[in-house]
Structure 1
Amino acid sequence: MGRAFVYVILGGGVAAGYAALEFARRGVSAGELCIISEESVAPYERPALSKGFLLPEAPARLPAFHTCVGSNEERLTPKWYTEQGIELVLGTRVKSADVKRKTLTTAAGETISYKILIIATGARALKLGEFGVRESDAENICYLRNFADATKLVSIIQTCNGGNAVVIGGGYIGMECAAALVTNRIKVTMVFPEAHCMARLFTPKIADFYETYYESKGVHFIKGTVLSSFENDSDGKVTEVVLRDGTRIPTNMVVVGIGIRPNTGLFEGQLAIEKGGIKVNGRMQTSNSSVFAVGDVASFPVKLFGSDIRRLEHVDSARKTASHAVSAIIAPETISDFDYLPFFYSRVFTLSWQFYGDSVGEVIHYGDFVAGRCGAYWIDKGRIVGAFLEGGDRDDYAAIAEAVKLKMVVKEKGEVEELGVEFASRAARHRESGAGLVLEKPLYAWHAVAGVAAALSVAGFAYWYGTRRRRW
């Protein structure tokens, strides 16, 4: 028993939805495209799970956040896929793949063949049991990676109003879930081994601003230590979190956000793997010409970093790599290699930040770290390679994005610190006036057009997303 398609997308997350939209725009015929997903719902905007789904008032619920509303495109409901003749195979696990024979085999034993495969398997949440933590399968221990996780988390939150929660991990999921829990009137303790939150991105100065704000909301931080074990009651629920230093924290629930691992298992030994993901070229094509990979699972060359191979765990990358891959499949003669500006953002409480580029080199902070309009530039070899801003507006974010894309030259560090966003805004003003970018003409002359378009597009989405967040 089996089925055959021209195109198969393996995975049903954000990337799958954006790939499907691009296929539809490029005229895919009914019956040619299939999406296989372990999840029971059609592709949706994953950021809504931590930014809107957990909120106590006007929470995000499907179908409101199906893809592709996150980029202000049409909402792809199950009905849309039917109308487009795109087959959704939901609640289905693929147990094996054979890229030479171009077949996938499901857990039920069905064989699905393809001419072109797009791997959009994303990543899975790392579990405590993988690190030897005892009693880590209690029913009030939660993760947040997919719709089922979020549904379980909401159910437990609703039983813990006024209670206590421990959040394990100080990264994206930890910070966003902690904010949601506090909004649900739950007292939160955050535990992580690093010296400060968001250690992969934030400098100590930036982290101090956010930790101070969180503390003003009642969040307690325990840094520099890790979870050792749990104490459970007779019903199997966690009642205490025990840390390595012996500290015991009473709790009603635990949320774990300790990272993710790309879902490459089906293709290891068949496709090239690099930086933990499936290696692709500038067209998202793997070492097998019939297979493409997108989103969290893909390691691709980033032109901005000298074509260094990167694997980027963020929704913006998932959306854009998916669309680019489909364009490269359908109309390869019209597509150049992917030119991506790495972009990350978050919204918690009334705060909102965006980051572009790479967090390497010397850091120059600027702005008011008390009032909450503050930021930083990362300078490497005299050029801006990364930029962060909290509390900006659409124009501000577009300006810092452009500064990174164009790798603006920094001659006087004191001037950068004093001017802050204004330093980046100069580039836009020079361009609009037709005067050229005088700070470093050789650099800007060849990169301006593409850089401006990409920066404005990314910043525009993030600004729009912020204004819609309460609806999600």
Structure 2
Amino acid sequence: MESSSGGNAIVIGGGYIGMECAASLVISRINVTMVFPEEHCMARLFTPKIASFYEEFYKSKGVKFVKGTILSSFDIDSDGKVTAVNLRDGSSLPADMVVVGIGIRPNTSLFEGQLTLEKGGIKVNGNMQSSNNSVYAVGDVATFPVKVFGESRRLEHVDSARKSARHAVTAIMERHQVDEFDYLPFFYSRVFTLSWQFYGDNVGDVVHFGDFSGGTFGAYWVKKGQLVGSFLEGGTKEEYEAIAKATKLKPEVEDLAELERQGLRFAVTVSQEPPPSSPPPRDIISSGIVLERPIYAFHATAGVVVAASIAAFAYWYGRKRRRW
């Protein structure tokens, strides 16, 4: 990067890696052009409206975008250095350096026929344990049960990698004391002066909220009447915690227009609500009468008094019969 300062960097790919690399390069005073085939950046996560905000922000920092095409070939000089990037649409971009961030596929071929594979990864249980109980898998290569979705997923993000690894180690060291991995999918990025966090799943109907002119804004995803995903840019620590908790709770959403009107306040309100109280345990006695616990001191005292009265009456009645 130091040797290319003032030069041209071409970033191939408009996903997470591409966006983070582009931000870092332009901060280092390198001219950056991003190239990707999708209609907007971060197409796997961002809605067009969210993507538009970030693209405009990146443009204000000097980043250029070339969309709808892909890398075709490189021009290389006699020293083996890339001098240009040729695109499928026929255009050519001068380059002093190239970053290719187009995603990966886990290489699971080594484990075929030895471990159970699922959804492009190694299938593991809630303790990150594969079909061979002496083999554990974590991170991008692991397909694990995601309780909030009710199905197994393979997730690609540093947070998942760190937490699944930590859980696997705990499961190995404390096998009989650890609960199954209960992970809420979480993605985040911090570039320039921006900071966003996403929790859950981006499926179903999307509802945007907030100030897209540069303030705090976000989006909810609602599927089958339940909140399943939340995105927030520019929030406080407490607000990020609120959208995480709300997404985990999967509250019902009856009116999308009302959800848009409430915006971030919806997640904050849901996160502050006390959990629903479960009914008190019940005792069933032989007579079929159902008694609710707890039995308060008043009831206990009354029982003692009644028992004492019965005992006294029995004693008096017994003595009276003997006199007869």
Larger radius of gyration: 2
Per-residue Cα deviation, 1:269-327 (whole angstroms, up to 9, x for no partner): 21111111111011111011111111111110111111x11111111111211122222
What is aligned with 1:400? 243
Q: Partner letter of residue 245 of structure 1? A: D
TM-score w.r.t. structure 2 length? 0.83
Q: How does 1:237-316 map to 2 (within 5 A)?
A: 237-306=81-150, 308-316=151-159
- Which of the residues 181, 184, 189 maps onto 1:346? 189
Structure 2 distance, partners of 1:335, 1:160, is 50
3-state SS, counterpart of residue 10 of structure 2? strand
Per-residue Cα deviation, 1:96-117 (whole angstroms, up to 9, x for no partner): xxxxxxxxxxxxxxxxxxxxxx
- The answer on 1:170 being equivalent to 2:14 is yes
3-state SS, counterpart of residue 171 of structure 2? helix
Structure 1 distance, partners of 2:202, 2:215, is 20
Judged with a 3 Å threshold, the aligned counterparts in structure 2 of structure 1 residues 232 and 372 are, in CA distance, closer, same or farther, namely farther
Q: How does 1:28-43 map to 2 (within 5 A)?
A: none
Q: How does 1:291-440 map to 2 (within 5 A)?
A: 291-306=135-150, 308-431=151-274, 436=275
Q: Partner letter of residue 295 of structure 1? A: G
Per-residue Cα deviation, 1:222-261 (whole angstroms, up to 9, x for no partner): 1011111111112111111111111111111111100012
What is aligned with 2:40? 196
* Identity value in percent: 67
**By how many angstroms is 1:219 displaced?**
0.6
**By how many angstroms is 1:339 displaced?**
1.1
Structure 2 distance, partners of 1:160, 1:294, is 36
Per-residue Cα deviation, 1:138-159 (whole angstroms, up to 9, x for no partner): xxxxxxxxxxxxxxxxxxx111
**By how many angstroms is 1:265 displaced?**
3.5
Q: Indicate if the aligned counterparts of 2:11 and 2:22 stay in contact, CA closer than 8 A.
A: yes
Structure 2 distance, partners of 1:421, 1:375, is 8
Q: Partner letter of residue 247 of structure 2? A: V
Structure 1 distance, partners of 2:258, 2:81, is 56
3-state SS, counterpart of residue 126 of structure 2? coil
Q: Partner letter of residue 89 of structure 2? A: D
What is aligned with 1:24? none
Structure 2 portions without partners, runs of 5+? 279-324
Q: Indicate if the aligned counterparts of 2:243 and 2:271 stay in contact, CA closer than 8 A.
A: no
Matched positions, count? 278
Structure 1 distance, partners of 2:132, 2:271, is 42
Structure 1 distance, partners of 2:27, 2:170, is 42
What is aligned with 1:87? none
RMSD (Å) for aligned C-alpha atoms: 1.4
Structure 2 distance, partners of 1:429, 1:358, is 22
Q: How does 1:143-158 map to 2 (within 5 A)?
A: 157-158=1-2
What is aligned with 2:26? 182
**Where in structure 1 do 4 or more consecutive aligned residues deviate above 4 Å?**
none
Structure 1 portions without partners, runs of 5+? 1-156, 443-472
Structure 2 distance, partners of 1:343, 1:349, is 20
Per-residue Cα deviation, 1:35-86 (whole angstroms, up to 9, x for no partner): xxxxxxxxxxxxxxxxxxxxxxxxxxxxxxxxxxxxxxxxxxxxxxxxxxxx
3-state SS, counterpart of residue 292 of structure 1? coil
Structure 2 distance, partners of 1:160, 1:226, is 23
**By how many angstroms is 1:371 displaced?**
1.6
Structure 2 distance, partners of 1:380, 1:335, is 32
**By how many angstroms is 1:393 displaced?**
0.7
- The answer on 1:213 being equivalent to 2:48 is no
3-state SS, counterpart of residue 176 of structure 2? helix
Q: Partner letter of residue 28 of structure 2? A: N
Q: Partner letter of residue 204 of structure 2? A: G
Q: Partner letter of residue 415 of structure 1? A: E
Structure 2 distance, partners of 1:238, 1:184, is 20
Q: Partner letter of residue 180 of structure 2? A: D
Q: Indicate if the aligned counterparts of 2:116 and 2:123 stay in contact, CA closer than 8 A.
A: yes
**By how many angstroms is 1:328 displaced?**
1.9
Range moving further from structure 2, 271-280 or 327-336: 327-336
**By how many angstroms is 1:416 displaced?**
1.4
Q: Indicate if the aligned counterparts of 2:123 and 2:144 stay in contact, CA closer than 8 A.
A: yes
**By how many angstroms is 1:200 displaced?**
0.5
Structure 1 distance, partners of 2:67, 2:165, is 37
Q: Partner letter of residue 270 of structure 1? A: Q
Q: Partner letter of residue 286 of structure 1? A: S
What is aligned with 1:12? none
3-state SS, counterpart of residue 105 of structure 2? strand
3-state SS, counterpart of residue 334 of structure 1? coil
Q: How does 1:86-125 map to 2 (within 5 A)?
A: none
Structure 2 distance, partners of 1:429, 1:305, is 23
